Amino acid sequence: MNDLVILVGGRGKRLGKITNHTPKPLIKIKNKRFLDILLSKFIKYNFKKIYLMCSYKKSKFFKLYHKKKIHNSEIICIDEGLAKDTGGGLYKLRKLIKGNFFLINGDSFFDIDFKNLSNLKLNKNIIACMAITKNKNYKKNDKMNNLIIGKSNNIEYSKKKSSYMNGGIYFFKKRIFNYIENKKISLEREILKKLILKKQIKGVFFKQYFIDMGTIQKL
CA-wise closest residue to 168 among 15, 25, 13: 25
Q: What's the pLDDT score for residue 10?
A: 84
Rounded CA gap, 211 and 218, in Å?
7
Tell me the whole-structure pTM to 2 decimals. Answer: 0.93
Q: What's the pLDDT score for residue 76?
A: 97
Residues 6+ apart with CB under 8 A from 216: 14, 15, 16, 18
One digit per residue, pLDDT tens: the chain, 219 residues? 689 999 998 877 787 888 888 999 999 999 999 999 999 999 899 999 999 999 999 999 999 999 999 999 999 999 988 778 888 889 999 999 999 999 999 999 999 999 999 888 788 899 999 999 988 665 554 557 889 898 889 999 988 888 889 999 999 999 999 999 988 899 998 999 999 999 999 999 999 988 888 788 888
> How does 64-101 read in b/e, with b if 16+ C-beta sit within 10 Å?
ebbeeeeeebebbbbbbeeebbbbbbbbbbeeebeebb
* Contact present, 148 and 158 (Cβ < 8 Å): yes
Question: Which three-class secondary structure state does DSSP give residue 19?
Answer: helix
| The residue type at 45 | Y
